[in-house]
């Protein structure tokens, strides 16, 4: 009985390690995309806030416009 199960266990382990590698690859891809998006949004928000401070207008409408652009 053990002789019949051993090849199946080896196949399941191999499939699991391939699946794990695929998941790690996808995770790395998504993580790098999200980080870049957050950095871009943060830069837009920062520029908008700095511009509002320089102009002397920092009302809620200005904040809303900056947030919507981000």
Closest CA to 49 of 65, 35, 34: 65
Q: Quote the pLDDT of residue 24.
A: 86
Do 70 and 46 touch, CB atoms closer than 8 A?
A: no
Q: Quote the pLDDT of residue 37.
A: 80
How many Å apart are CA 28 and CA 9, to the nearest integer? Answer: 29
Band (pLDDT 50/70/90 cuts) for residue 25 is confident
Do 43 and 26 touch, CB atoms closer than 8 A?
A: no
pTM: 0.41
What's the pLDDT tens digit per position in 35-67?
A: 778 888 888 888 888 887 777 766 677 777 777
């Amino acid at each position: 009985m053990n002789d019949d199960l051993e090849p199946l266990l080896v196949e399941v382990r191999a499939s699991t390690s391939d699946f794990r590698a695929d998941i790690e690859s996808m995770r790395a891809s998504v993580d790098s995309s999200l980080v870049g998006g957050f950095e871009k949004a943060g830069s837009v928000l920062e520029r908008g806030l700095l511009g509002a401070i320089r102009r002397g207008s920092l009302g809620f409408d200005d904040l809303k416009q900056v947030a919507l652009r981000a």
